[in-house]
Structure 1
Amino acid sequence: MRGLVVRLFLALALPALLVAVWWLASDGSTNVYWPPLRTVLAAFPDVWTGERLRGDVLPSVVRLAGGYAAAAVAGVALGTVIGTHRRVRAVCEPVLEFLRAVPPPVLVPVVMLFAGIGDAMKVAVIASGCVWPVLLNTVEGVRALDAVAAETARSYGITGAARLRHLVLPSAAPQIFAGLRQALSVGIVLMVISEMFAASNGLGFTIVQFQRGFAIPDMWTGILLLGLLGFVLSVVFRLLERRALGWYHGLRASSRRSP
């Protein structure tokens, strides 16, 4: 119980401190672009009603989920193939280095030419940015497969899909989840950027509309909501990661306890 209280305190201490500093620094501000935090918080429930949550937040989350899921599947599948086969890696590595160096927001106009201006474009933009952390971490995780474990599996005749399921993917899972965690933050950024182009709803679209209409407190509420959304998704991801990698965290904990 004490450990839970300590972890909760450590998790909330810094956010509470930052909110307090923001409150004190902005209190009494007359700058139209920097309204007091109390004004922003007072406008929050009036702006983000149930109707607006359904009309703007829900479509954004659905697009993020679609692009993120597509990137996760493609990244793990391609990363496993590239990491397993040395010749494939030698052929693909120069192209991968070139493509990952291109900032995903730059691809928005290009994607619009092929996918139009609907949800498909936004999902494609999110997927195009999220795939790289997953792909590259999967490649490195597969390449780092323990030689003794690989030789043991070969000796017992474990090959093909069984080797992939019981050896390769579990061994690379910690690094794969590290890439998925990075991709989540990238996906939120690209979700907002994609909705700033030829959109009619979504968080990015709404925040830009507030800014263009000089509804500055409302704009700040959208930014706060984005932060809260990122925090909630991070917590959910961490819970899923701990459940999926329970064996890994238990192994690390036992190794720390051993002399």
Structure 2
Amino acid sequence: MRAKFRVLNPLGISVAVALVLVWQLLVSTQVIRLTYLPSPWAVVLAFGELDGLAENLAHTLLVALVAFVAAMVIGMVLGLAVGLLTPVRTFGLASLDVLRTVPVVALMPVALLIWGPSPQTEIIVATYSAAWPIVVSVSGGVRAIHRQLREVARTLRLGRGEEVAKIVIPATVPSVLVGARLALTTALVIAIVAEMLVNPQGLGWSLVQAQSALQPAQMWAYVIVIGVVSLLANALLVAVVDRFVPGGQKTSRGGL
């Protein structure tokens, strides 16, 4: 019961509710007179005007999920290579650092020219962006493995493949799960941005359409939907980390 209470964070929810009430009061009393800032009640009513919300939500979630799975596979392989193989670190780490720092938004026009406005383009750019947290977490986790574990592998005369499967991967599970939390939210965010700029589908494109149609209430409704989806995705990964990582509660919530 106490754990659930901490997750719900009543004080934080109270602050959010208070801000919404103040927003409604300021708009209703015309203290704030911004043409495109609707009242919270108008935003609530706009939820009934969102056409194709379920279809758009399903599209965005599917793209984010596929990108997340692909990023996990690519990030695991590349992270293990960086952490285990000295030649990869020596000759490839600088290149990987350069690629990692390139903003993915700058690559979207390139992706659009190569693959066109399609879900494939969304998946590729979202995968590219989401893989880096996995690479960093896994490579760091591999290099942080205690030397005694490696000595155990040598004592048991394990081959390189057996050592990776029985020692390295289990030891890096906490790092993988923490990186996965960042990767999932990154995949979702980049998928929405790609829908705004590259592929006219999903929640991102619906948000842009509401903006172009000068429907601020609908626009804010889409913003809330995106925020709730991101919050639920993050909460799911936090729950997984807390469940499977020793001391996961500190690891999954600290610093980010």
Alignment partners' CA distance in 2, 1:60 and 1:6: 31
Q: Is the 8 A contact 2:122 2:198 kept in 1?
A: no
Q: Name the SS for the 1:200 alignment partner.
A: coil
AA at the equivalent of 1:201: Q
Name the SS for the 1:27 alignment partner: helix
Task: After TM superposition, give the deviation of residue 24 of structure 1 in Å.
Answer: 1.0
Determine if contact 1:72/1:134 at 8 Å carries over to the other structure.
Answer: yes
Q: In 2, distance between residues paired with 1:209 and 1:163?
A: 53
Instruction: Tell me, in whole angstroms, the C-alpha distance in 2 between the residues paired with 1:5 and 1:199.
Output: 39
Matches within 5 A, 1:96-135: 96-135=96-135
1:198-244 superposed Cα distances (whole Å, 9 cap, x missing partner): 43320000000000000000000000001100111112222333343
Large movers: runs of 4+ above 4 Å: none
1:116-169, CA deviations, whole angstroms, 9 ceiling, x for partnerless residues? 211100000101111111111111111111101111111111223322122101
Report percent identity of matched pairs.
24
Q: What is the rounded CA distance, in whole Å, between the counterparts of 1:69 and 1:19 in structure 2?
A: 35
- AA in 1 matched with 2:6: R
Tell me: CA distance 1:67–1:9, structure 2 relative to 1, closer, same or farther (3 Å): closer
Does the CA-based 8 Å contact 1:60-1:203 persist in structure 2? yes
Q: How does 1:1-259 map to 2 (within 5 A)?
A: 1=1, 3-4=2-3, 6-10=5-9, 12-29=10-27, 30-44=33-47, 46-48=48-50, 51-54=52-55, 56-245=56-245, 248-249=246-247
State the superposition RMSD in angstroms: 1.9
Query: Aligned partners of 2:226 and 2:95: how far apart in 1?
Result: 34
- Residues matched between the structures, number: 244
Q: 1:105 to 1:5 in 2, by over 3 A?
A: closer
Against the structure 1 CA distance between its residues 86 and 95, is the aligned structure 2 distance closer, same or farther, given a 3 Å change threshold? same
Q: Which residue identity lines up with residue 95 of structure 1 in the other structure? A: S
State the 1:26 CA deviation.
3.8
Deviates more, 1:196-205 or 1:115-124: 196-205
Farther off after superposition, 133-142 or 170-179 = 170-179
Gaps of 5+ in 2: 28-32, 251-256
Aligned to 2:94, the other structure's residue is in SS state helix
Instruction: List alignment gaps of at least 5 residues for structure 1.
Output: 253-259
Shift of 1:186: 1.8
Q: Relative to 1, partners in 2 of residues 1:28 and 1:100: Cα closer, same or farther, differing over 3 Å?
A: same
For 1:5 and 1:70, the matched residues in 2 are separated by: 32
- What is the letter of the counterpart of residue 34 of structure 1? L
Secondary structure of the 1:158 match is coil
TM-score by length of 1: 0.87
Q: Which residue of 1 aligns with 2:253?
A: none
Q: How far apart, in 1, do the equivalents of 2:104 and 2:135 lie?
A: 15
Q: 1:76 to 1:25 in 2, by over 3 A?
A: same
